């Protein structure tokens, strides 16, 4: 429990401190493993199903963000946040897609990450629940919720720094993503939205295996 809270809180603060876009995205992935750890540690159907969906959802969102970050590096030669800025005016499609990926990574409702994190939090919170006192799972869940705030800080700061504000003169001739890249990016966004609005389509795939496991190996 201490390790997963360290993943969420401490690594989250480390992520905020990053000065490069790619390093920030990398540390954010490490941070989100804390949520997955919390879901599996809950040892119940809801939490473990949420953890499995979160692995899938985070894979989609971070793939989207890293893909756009890679294209930014090709075009600008840098991913240092202070050297970027105003790219949304010359790369509107990339800016929109990165914003949607950032919102998904934060856990905004409507994206697959939100549905998964809700399942993880509710699954962990109900574990060991007693009316008259907080179990350590409830304490961990409440502390883990601060990770959502931390995620919003570093993702929105990176988005603002990279795509908002005045466009430096050296970036004004940069081209937006070409069509061959827009197709996979659009598919990633569509998958995040689909499983965000219809999470049951994924739950039906993974929950039978967990249900069978917990029926034959009940948590002690």
> At residue 140, does pLDDT exceed 90?
no
Q: Does pTM top 0.95 for this prediction? A: no
> At residue 132, does pLDDT exceed 90?
no
Helix (H), strand (E) at residue 60: helix 45-76
For residue 220, the model assigns a pLDDT of 56
Q: Using alpha carbons only, how large is the chain's radius of gyration in Å?
A: 19
> At residue 200, does pLDDT exceed 70?
yes
Average pLDDT over residues 180-187: 94
| Domain assignment of residue 216, yes or no | no
- Is 212 exposed, middle or buried, given 0-12, 13-18 or 19+ CB atoms closer than 10 A? exposed
Please tell me the total count of domains within the chain: 1
For residue 130, the model assigns a pLDDT of 65
> At residue 19, does pLDDT exceed 90?
yes
Q: Domain span at residue 202?
A: 2-211
- Mean pLDDT rounded to a whole number for the chain: 90
Q: Are 31 and 8 in contact (CB under 8 A)?
A: yes
More confident residue, 57 or 1: 57
CA gap 49, 26 in Å, rounded:
24
| Domain assignment of residue 142, yes or no | yes
CA gap 44, 1 in Å, rounded:
16
| Domain assignment of residue 219, yes or no | no
Give the largest Cα separation in the chain, rounded. 64
For residue 206, the model assigns a pLDDT of 86
Helix (H), strand (E) at residue 185: helix 179-197
If phi > 0 it is left, if psi is from -120 to 50 it is alpha, else beta; for residue 107 that is left
| Domain assignment of residue 220, yes or no | no
CA gap 110, 2 in Å, rounded:
30
For residue 169, the model assigns a pLDDT of 86
For residue 57, the model assigns a pLDDT of 94
| Domain assignment of residue 61, yes or no | yes
């Amino acid at each position: 429990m201490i390790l997963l809270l360290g993943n969420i809180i401490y690594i989250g603060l480390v992520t905020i401190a990053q000065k490069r876009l790619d390093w920030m995205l990398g540390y954010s992935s490490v941070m989100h493993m804390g949520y997955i750890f919390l879901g599996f540690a809950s040892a119940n159907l809801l939490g473990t199903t949420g953890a499995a969906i979160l692995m899938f959802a985070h894979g989609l969102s971070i793939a989207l963000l890293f893909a756009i970050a890679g294209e930014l590096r090709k075009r600008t030669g840098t991913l240092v946040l202070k050297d970027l800025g105003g790219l949304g005016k010359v790369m509107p499609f990339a800016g929109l897609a990165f914003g949607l990926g950032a919102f998904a990574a934060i856990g905004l409702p409507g994206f697959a990450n939100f549905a998964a994190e809700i399942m993880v939090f509710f699954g962990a919170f109900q574990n060991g629940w007693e009316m008259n006192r907080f179990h350590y799972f409830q304490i961990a869940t409440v502390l883990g919720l601060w990770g959502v705030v931390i995620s919003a800080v570093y993702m929105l700061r990176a988005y603002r720094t990279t795509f908002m504000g005045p466009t430096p003169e050296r970036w004004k001739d940069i081209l937006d993503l070409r069509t061959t890249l827009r197709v996979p990016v659009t598919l990633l966004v569509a998958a995040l939205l689909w499983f965000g609005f219809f999470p049951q389509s994924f739950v039906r795939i993974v929950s039978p295996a967990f249900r069978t496991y917990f029926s034959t190996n009940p948590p002690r």
